Amino acid sequence: MSEPDRQRRYTANLQGEVDGAALYRTLSQNENDPELARVYARLAAVEEAHAEFWQRQLAAIGRKAPRLRPGFRTRALIWLAKRFGPGFVLPTVNTLEQIDSGSYAAQPEAVAGGLPAAERSHARIIEALAAPAPGALSGAVLARLEGRHRGVGGNALRAAVLGANDGLCSNLSLVMGVAGAAVSNRTVLLTGLAGLLAGAFSMALGEWVSVTSARELAEREIRIERREVEENPGEEREELQLIYEAKGLKQSEAESLSSAVMKDARTALDTLSREELGIDPDELGGSPWTAAVTSFLLFAVGAAVPVAPFMFGAGAHAVLWSLGAGGVALFVIGAAISVFTGRGFLRSGARQLLLGFAAAGITFAIGRLIGVAVAG
């Protein structure tokens, strides 16, 4: 590999470590649990040591390490963590760690420095934090735990962004389709508002039904588990021990922890519900009404963007303003999506803009054809 190629690779690796150190340092400073704060601080220290490693690699080929600041994605996560707490961004951090955990495996310098093992360890720790085992586990045990995999499906940030995106894309296409038919400004405005309300109520109802059904299923599973705890406590303790062993605990540790948990029936049911069923008895998937209202509001916010210009203007000017506002919102949503997909924000924003405008353009053309046919 040529020297310029090595320089680019070393610099990219350095940027990744700078991002990781800044993010974990922020999580440590904003975590209320002292033990978790110490875990984040240790992760930040390791990332800082890795950054120094790549600075030395750059110096070895005669290149001075640049002064780097956290990238866009990291700055966004830091901002969210400061305002909503580390738990809000933890699912996204977990996803990014799983993606990056093997990035050093094919780099000989990293392998020689022991970096791949450290990165895999980070991924396991963050995965364990994203799906914590019950009880007060020590840092040493936590470092060996390999928690259940949790995808980005439960990520609140992802849900918020995609909810607004649904409203924006659907109503932008609807408004452009009606505007293409050359109807009056009043008709376009009323259609856009009707689309906003219809879509928002539809999304809210769908979320209410989905969460309610999930809660009912969870309650049924917990009732079955309660009966099993009462009738076969020994078998349930063995199941719990096996779960802990599968997560990486030693047999003696798993046996001791499972025995302690099973001493209290309420604690046993709570623990088995979380570990065996993957259900939080306190939440049961959340409130259906909260989910419905949140879904309604997120969809409505996105859907309002392309409609608003028709409240203050008419004709071609309103169409252009609607496209402009929709375009800005599409790019912002695409950039926000990049926070938890790991892709570049410019690429994600441009892709979202292109796809959104393509849908709007097609519906505008169809609306124009229908308008001409009806007028004829």
Quick: pLDDT tens for 40-61: 888 899 899 999 999 999 998 8
Identify which has the larger pLDDT, 30 or 159. Answer: 30
pLDDT of residue 70 exceeding 70, the answer is: yes
pLDDT of amino acid 359: 92
CA distance 175 to 189: 8
Distance (Å, whole) CA 120 – CA 104: 10
Task: Enter the DSSP assignment of 31.
Answer: -
State the pLDDT at residue 306: 94
Give the N- to C-terminal CA distance of the chain in Å, as an integer: 67
Spatial distance between the Cα atoms of 132 and 370, rounded to a whole number of angstroms:
56
> Which range (122-136, 175-189, 221-235, 307-321) has the least confidence?
122-136
pLDDT reading at 161 higher than 90 = no
- Compare 138 and 358 and report the one with higher pLDDT: 358
Counting residues of the chain whose pLDDT is more than 70, the rounded percentage is: 87
Domain boundaries, the chain: 3-131, 155-214+287-375, 215-275
What's the mean pLDDT in 180-185?
Answer: 84
- DSSP, residue by residue, 108-157: HHHHHTTHHHHHHHHHHHHHHHHSPPSS---HHHHHH--PPP--GGG-HH
Exposure of 374 by Cβ count < 10 A (0-12 exposed, 13-18 middle, 19+ buried)? exposed
Give the CA diameter of the chain: 83
pLDDT digits (tens, 9 = 90+) for 93-136: 888 888 887 888 888 888 888 888 778 777 877 877 776 444 43
pLDDT at res. 95: 83
User: Which CATH fold topology does 3-131 show?
Assistant: Ferritin (1.20.1260)
Cβ(182)–Cβ(371) below 8 Å? yes
Per-residue confidence (pLDDT) for residue 269, from 0 to 100: 81
Our CA dihedral for 38, 40, 46, 51, rounded to 10 degrees, sits at: -140
SS3 103: coil
Helix %, strand %, coil % of the chain (to 5): 80, 0, 20
CB atoms within 10 A of CB 141: 19
Q: Find the mean pLDDT for residues 27-51.
A: 88
**Closest by alpha carbon to 81, among 152, 45, 32, 121?**
32
> Quick one: how far is CA 277 from the chain centroid?
22
Average pLDDT across the chain, whole number:
82
Distance of CA 1 to CAs 4, 9, 10, 50, 95, Å?
Answer: 8, 10, 12, 22, 31
Query: Residue 143: its pLDDT value, please?
Result: 36
Joined together, the tokens standing for residue 188 give 């376009």
Question: Helix 115-130 crosses helix 34-60 at what angle (to 10 degrees)?
Answer: 160
* Res 139: pLDDT: 38
Q: Is the pLDDT of residue 76 over 80?
A: yes
